[in-house]
Structure formats: C-alpha cells, structure tokens
Structure 1
Amino acid sequence: MISQTFRTRFAPAALTVALLSTGMSAAAVQPAAAQPAEAAATFAAAGKKPGKPQQYLKFVKNKKNPSNSRLHLMMKGKKKAVASWRAGSGNGSTNACKPNAGWLPNGSYKIEFHQKDFNGSAIKGYVIKLQDKKCSNGTKRTELFIHSEMQKNGKQGPKKGKDSPWRWEGDHDYKSLACIKLKPAHIKSLFTKSAKGWPKTLKVV
C-alpha cells in the first residue's frame, strides 16, 4: 500500500520535471481536463492562417473636371493609397441625381461582382459591378459599373467612326452615362493589384 501511494505521488512530479527540462511551462504539464476550453482555443488560434489584406476602392471627385477625378485602391487602416488612377464619372455634369449624365452620388457602394470577360450590350471586358444607389432627392441610379472601352476579350476593337465604344481613343473616353471609367491599361492594373484581397466596397466622396 505504501509502495503504491509513493508511485502515485512520485510519477506526476517526475513527469513534471522531465517536461520542464524540455522547455515546457508548468501550465502545460497540468492535467488535460483542467482547462479544456482554453487549451482548445489556444491551439485553434495557433493554427489559423492570416487572412488576405482588406482593401477597398475610393473615388475622389474633381468638381472642376469630373473626367479628371481619381480612383484609389486603399488598404483599411492606411491613409496612403496602394495605387491610384485617373478616372471619370458622368458626362461632365455634377448633378448626381441626373440619370445617364451626372456623376455617381456620394456614399458607400457594395461591389456585387468583378469580371474580365463581361459581354454587355454597351460595356464589355473588364468590369466591376456596383450596387444601385439613391441620390439626395431619392432618384435611383442603376446599372453602375467601373469599366473601360474594350472588347469582351479585353483587347481593343478596330477604329469605327469618330468614337468606337470598344476602343479607347483619348481623354473624351473618360466620359460616361454615370459609370466610373478608366483607361484599359489602368483597369487591368486595378484587377492585378486587387487580386491580393479583392475590394468589397467603393467609397465615393
């Protein structure tokens, strides 16, 4: 009986000494049942992989020249933009409540999807689809995109008349019916840089 009691008391102590010699803390050698919830949480946290960076888009309006505004790719918590490009919105009108003419209303927009081979009737190729938005007087702005002028495959179309809708021909192409427009090379750059953590929102100011 004495021998059995001695072994019962001695074994845990010896195990503790042995484990401590390997660098483990005293807490680590306590019975597993002592703190099951905390232990599980610790191991779960240790096994987590870091998430992708949280990015968003920010469109800064230029009242003097709406077609020379800026679109920024931002990182949450950072003031400096990851990248920035010239962009336009609307046909030059600063009336955000004027459908198919004025620039986008201020506020936050959800990004519904992005696609490299979009095949719409008026917009093709690289696009970012934005949610509908009501302006200050309640007018709903719809069919809102960030896009350029290109064919479905992302290439430039042939010259066709004075202004081909599938070919970027100059600064006048920054104008739109309301959408945000970028040069073909710039929207492709936006897609490349956004691949590290696709933006889910656009902020218009």
Structure 2
Amino acid sequence: MRTLRSKPGVLAVLAVAAVTSGSAPTAANATPQAAGSSYTYLEFKKGSDPLNSRLRFVQVQRTSGDRTRTTVLDSWRAGSGNGSKDTCATNRGWLPDGTYTIGTYYPHHDGGPHGVNGIAWDIGNHKCHTGKWRTELFIHSRMLPGGAQGSGPYRWTGTYTSNGCIKLSPHDIRELQSRWNNYPHPGKLYVD
C-alpha cells in the first residue's frame, strides 16, 4: 500500500501521478465525490505491453480542511485487447485513454460462451482519438457466470487477452470484488 500526502492549500484531490490528459482526479476535474470524507476510483495504467498493464484501486481521504491523502489500496496485473496498441481497433485494441464512468456491477454476469461471464463491471462506451466509439467495455476475468472455472471459454488459461476490455485473473478479480464490497464504490475509471 502506498500513501501520498497532498500539499497544503490544494483543493480537492491530488492523484497518484500528475497528468494533464484528465486521467486521474486533479483539483481542476475532481468529481463531486471529492466533497465527502473518503472516496475511491480505479486507475488503469498502461504499460509498454497491452497484456501487462496495471489496474489500481485508489482511495482518497480528506485528512483536514483541504488536505487529502491518496492511497493505492491494491494493484493487479491486467490486460486490455489482444496485444494491439491501436485504441480504435474494435475487439482488438486496448482501451482509449480517458475517464470512464463505472456502471453496473455484476457478481454473476451471463454473457454466454462468447461474452463476459462471472464477476464484471460495465465501464460503458468510449470514443477513441478518431471519434470512433468503442462499445460494450467491461472489467472482467474468464469464468462461469457463477464464478467457478469451467472448460473452453470459461477457463482461465493465464492469458490477459480480451476484446478490448480490462481483463484480470480470477484471483485478482475476486480481490477487486472484495475491495468493492469493503470500501466506497469507485464511480470512475481513469485510463492512461
């Protein structure tokens, strides 16, 4: 767990890393959640390999006045896409940079043999840099709708490939689910 302290006089939130693309919360783009005493968000940090990036669960706590403490509570290996860095490649490329609204949480999603199954979060649709929409995006793993391992498309084989979603191992998605159940629910996902 890593804790960062904000400097006095800074309103709202300082993120884990300073970015100008609007990826993690800053004083200029903090969400209404920043007004509370504590909130969380998810951050997908792209590495040099689309199949070896990081998903972080981050908590922001107001310590006093306008001071906040930002803590990375957990971080997991994650993949996005099939290895392509083309953010506009439907069902192949990794996620476009930007801010996503985390939608419905599904403890037992049933997308069938070619869809998303088991523990999943809908992260909505997002435009890539050309304006093309990437749709049906999720954070998920590979499992049966009930969360157990099955055969074929329901079995984790150790690969982090997906159709452009964020993919975690079954173990790691259960850890994310535990964080989800024990902390304020993240409303945003920041991708950069």
TM range (shorter): 0.7 to 0.9
**Contact 1:144 1:179 survives alignment (8 Å):** yes
Equivalent residue number for residue 62 of structure 1:
47
* CA RMSD in angstroms, aligned pairs only: 1.3
> Which is strand-richer, 1 or 2?
2
Matched, 1:174 2:160: yes
Name the SS of the counterpart of 2:72 in structure 1. Answer: coil
Name the SS of the counterpart of 2:107 in structure 1. Answer: strand
Unaligned runs of 5+ in 1: 1-50, 159-163
Matched, 1:152 2:152: no
Determine the C-alpha separation between the residues in 1 that align with 2:187 and 2:43. 11
**Offset, 1:66:** 1.0
Equivalent residue number for residue 75 of structure 1:
59
Unaligned runs of 5+ in 2: 1-35, 61-67
Q: Deviations over 1:100-122 (max 9, x none)?
A: 11100000000111111111121
Q: For 2:43, give the aligned amino acid.
A: K
Aligned residues: 147
Determine the C-alpha separation between the residues in 2 that align with 1:103 and 1:79. 27
Equivalent residue number for residue 115 of structure 1:
106
Equivalent residue number for residue 201 of structure 1:
188
Determine the C-alpha separation between the residues in 1 that align with 2:69 and 2:97. 21
Give % identity: 42
Determine the C-alpha separation between the residues in 2 that align with 1:192 and 1:95. 32
Determine the C-alpha separation between the residues in 1 that align with 2:40 and 2:93. 27
**Offset, 1:141:** 0.2
**Contact 1:87 1:174 survives alignment (8 Å):** yes
Name the SS of the counterpart of 2:38 in structure 1. Answer: coil
Moved segments of 4+, more than 6 Å: none
Determine the C-alpha separation between the residues in 1 that align with 2:129 and 2:120. 26
Name the SS of the counterpart of 2:51 in structure 1. Answer: helix
> Which is helix-richer, 1 or 2?
1
Deviates more, 1:191-200 or 1:147-156: 191-200
Name the SS of the counterpart of 1:67 in structure 2. Answer: coil
**Offset, 1:79:** 4.0
**Offset, 1:52:** 7.6
Matched, 1:88 2:76: no
Matched, 1:189 2:175: yes
Q: Deviations over 1:157-177 (max 9, x none)?
A: 03xxxxx2101012xx20111
Shift of the 73–153 alpha-carbon distance from structure 1 to 2, 3 Å rule, reads: same
| Larger Rg computed on CA atoms | 1
